Structures are given as structure tokens and as C-alpha cells.
Amino acid sequence: MIVDLKSTPHKTPRLIVEGGLVWSIIMYLPRDLTKTFQFALSQFPAVLITGPRQSGKSTFLQQVMRDAPYITFDDPINRDFALHDPSGFLDQFHGRTVILDEIQYVPDIFRYIKIRIDKDRRPGIWIMTGSQRFSLMKNVSDTLAGRIAVLELCPFSLGENKSKNLEKVLWTGLFPEPSCYPAKRDLWLKSYIQTYLERDILQIENIRNLRSFEMFVNLCAAFHSQEFRPANLASNCGVSQPTIKSWSKALEASYLAIMLPPFFKNYGKRIIKTPKFYFLDPALVCYLTRQPSAESTIRGNMGGAIFEGLIISDVWKTFLNMGKDPSVFFWRSQSGLEVDLIIQAGGKLWPIEIKLTSSPSIRHLNSLKQFKEMAGDEAADYGILVCNVNERREMPGKNIALPWFAVSGWLNEILI
């Protein structure tokens, strides 16, 4: 059983007790998705939480829905029951709220849940999780459109993690397990990637040459935070460009990668229209590019790129935690003018530069100044320089230097 101890504002200690023995203490970090989830629960008969494996979906639901039965389809007995007798499987819950974990393993069950929802529209009965995006969404859209709220839970945001140690955050990443237990970091990452390559990816994409796909994943890590160039990757991996595009969609579908789209509006200059590629978690990049240590990561030639990816993914997560589609872009003209990130919020365009520096200066603000001049009234009142400072600073030209760990808090303010 699980015994709750006295909780702190940010962490809920829990003892796992079996056979009279205390096995371990689990520290649960409250998730920013909680408010959005509770609202969805009050409005929809079904709520689906998707996200990458090991992002904390099961733990989250077992914390906020402690009285609901929890069934995982990772268990072959549950999976076999639901596949061969879906009506009998669902009958056992007698209309009570239930958590169905890893539901992508039994996609046909959506049709049977729809029948029950049409007979009983009470909100908050069917709570589901899944670790895939596109294939799972197809089954949802075909059967439960208008009956289900779809939310996404990613690894910790910087606001949830609360660490101000940049080296540690980049090295251990923000998946709950290595983030909370850094000693597990190397083995956890090795196992995570191996499991992904050998099991998860085969459920999403029919990969015939696993070695070429593994090479593709490693090359993507090397090109992290750069424009996504299928032709270059195809040449290096010995496969076609359509295959590379298909594989990139598989990385997105399993929540390992983000494709940051370009901002298309043309302010008098030709612009780049190729998306930029980012891994969702910095520790995956460090591991795949064989960074030797946390210190060398932040000081090495990929330090800036990994830092940029950290901020991009944090902004992405903040939108998702509020139940919103990420309205984020980058902007680069063919003449070389570039803005790392543009956020569309509150009817304004917020230009953001991301620099791995502890000494922000006027030269870091040039692109913000030029973009605001070109965007005119559509631009926000001030630009943002995200960097390695300890507190927010006012900068010339109506700009601010924002600490890297304060990005999600600032974004929550402008999105409300």
C-alpha cells in the first residue's frame, strides 16, 4: 500500500509499504497540467492524456484520481481481456470513473466506450492515457469526437522542476526519473533509447532497416536546433527523402522531437520556410551526441544549441499544460536576420532571443530591435532575451533579460 506523509508545498512524500517493510519514498512533484485536467474532467465524459513514455502520466493520474480504479494495458491479462471481450471488460466498472492506461494497445475499445458515453453523458467517467500521438488520435477522432478532451503531459517544465542549476538540468534532463534520481541517469537514458528503438517505434512506423533508423536518430541529435534537411539526412543514412520525412513524423508521434515551424509572414524580405528540429529533452541530446560530462556540455560547441532546445521545449510544454496548441515559431530571413522564437499570444508577436550567456549586452538585442521595427503594431511592447542570469533585468530598447528558469512563469502570465 501507499502511505502519505506530511506534504510540502511542492512535493508530496509517499511511503511504499509491502509486507510490513518500507521499500522506498517517492517524492511527487505537482504538475502544471492539474488545473487544465480538472476543468476537462468537469466538462467531458472522457479525458485522454497523451505524452512520451515515462513523462509521469500514470503517476499524475494516480495522484489526482486516487479513488478511481487503475487499469494498465501494459499488463497482458488486461490487454487480452479488453481485446477479446471489450463489453465484458468495461462492464466490470459499473459506470464508475476508471483510469485506462496505455490505451493505444486496445484501439478497438474506443467504439465500445462511445456506446456507453452516448447512454451516459456524465463528465469525468473515462480517463485514458496513451504514449503515441498520430495513430492514437486517428482512433479518437473517428469515434469520440466531441465527447473527449485530449491533453498532453510532457516531462517536467522548468517551473515544475524548480532547479536553478543549469548544468544539472541539461545533463539529467526533465524526465521525472533521471531528474529526481540523477544517479540513474546513464542507465535510464540507455534503456529508454533502446526500448524506444526496439519496441515503441515498431508500433508507429514499419522500420525495415533498424540500423539506418538508429543512425538517423543520432544524426538528428547532432543537428539539434538546426533546420531540418531531409536531403542531407537521406544521403547520410542511405535511404530516400520520403523515408526520412516518415521517420521524423515517427519521432514527433512518440513525443521525442519537436518541429518548430517558421513564421511565414513576409515583412518585406524573403524568409526561410524550413522547420527547425529539436529533441524534447536535453539529456537525450547529451547522451546521443556522447557529451562527456555536464560541465563540458555547457562549455562545448553544442552548449548553445542544447540550451536553445531547453527553452523551446519549455515554452512548448507551457502551452500544452494550459491545454493550448503551441503558437510558436522561429523567423529567419535569407539575408541572415534571425529570431530564435516568436510567440503569438494576446494578439501580439513576442520576439525572443536565446543566448547561453551570463553577460547580456546590447549586441544580443539587434535581432529583437529589427524584428519589432518590421512587425510594427503587431509586435509586443518589449522583446525577451532568455539567458543565464539570476533575475529579470531591464535592457535598452524596451527589452528585458529573463532568467532561463523563469520562462514558463512569464509565459503563463501573458497567456492568461
What are 196's three cell numbers? 524506444
Find the helix packing angle between 210-222 and 241-253, rounded to 10°: 80
**DSSP assignment string, 256-289:** SEEEEPBP---SSS-B--PPEEEES-HHHHHHHT
Q: Kindly tell me the burial class for residue 184, based on how many C-beta atoms sit within 10 Å of its own C-beta (0-12, 13-18, 19 or more).
A: middle
Give the per-residue pLDDT at 59. 93
**CA dist., res. 167 & res. 273, Å (int):** 33
Provide the whole-model pTM.
0.89
**C-alpha closest to that of 42 among 153, 137, 143, 149:** 149
**CA dist., res. 361 & res. 26, Å (int):** 43
Highest mean pLDDT: which of 57-66, 201-210, 262-271?
Answer: 57-66
User: Is residue 31 pLDDT above 70, yes or no?
Assistant: yes
Could you tell me which residues come within 8 angstroms of residue 27 by beta carbon, excluding any fewer than 6 positions away?
A: 11, 12, 13, 14, 180
Give me the chain's average pLDDT, please: 88
Q: Which pLDDT band holds residue 137 (cuts at 50, 70, 90)? A: low
Place of cell 542507465: 187
Give the per-residue pLDDT at 272. 58
Rounded to an integer, the average pLDDT of 189-215 is: 81
**DSSP assignment string, 338-387:** EEEEEEEETTEEEEEEE---SS--GGGGHHHHHHHHHHGGGB-SSEEEEE
**CA dist., res. 148 & res. 400, Å (int):** 40
pLDDT in tens, 65-120: 999 999 999 999 999 999 999 999 999 998 899 999 999 889 889 999 999 999 99
**CA dist., res. 234 & res. 15, Å (int):** 50
Give the per-residue pLDDT at 144. 86
How many helices (H) and strands (E) in the chain? 19, 16
Return the higher-pLDDT residue of 98 and 413.
98
Question: What CATH number is given for 31-152 in this structure?
Answer: 3.40.50.300
Find the helix packing angle between 407-415 and 303-321, rounded to 10°: 40
3-class secondary-structure state, position 122: coil
pLDDT in tens, 294-346: 999 999 999 999 999 999 999 999 999 999 999 999 988 767 788 999 999 98
For residue 170, give Cα distances in angstroms to 165, 219, 228, 322: 9, 19, 22, 24
Q: How far apart are the first and last CA of the chain?
A: 39
pLDDT in tens, 16-25: 444 444 444 4
User: Is residue 135 pLDDT above 60, yes or no?
Assistant: no
Where exactly are the structural domains of the chain?
31-152, 169-415
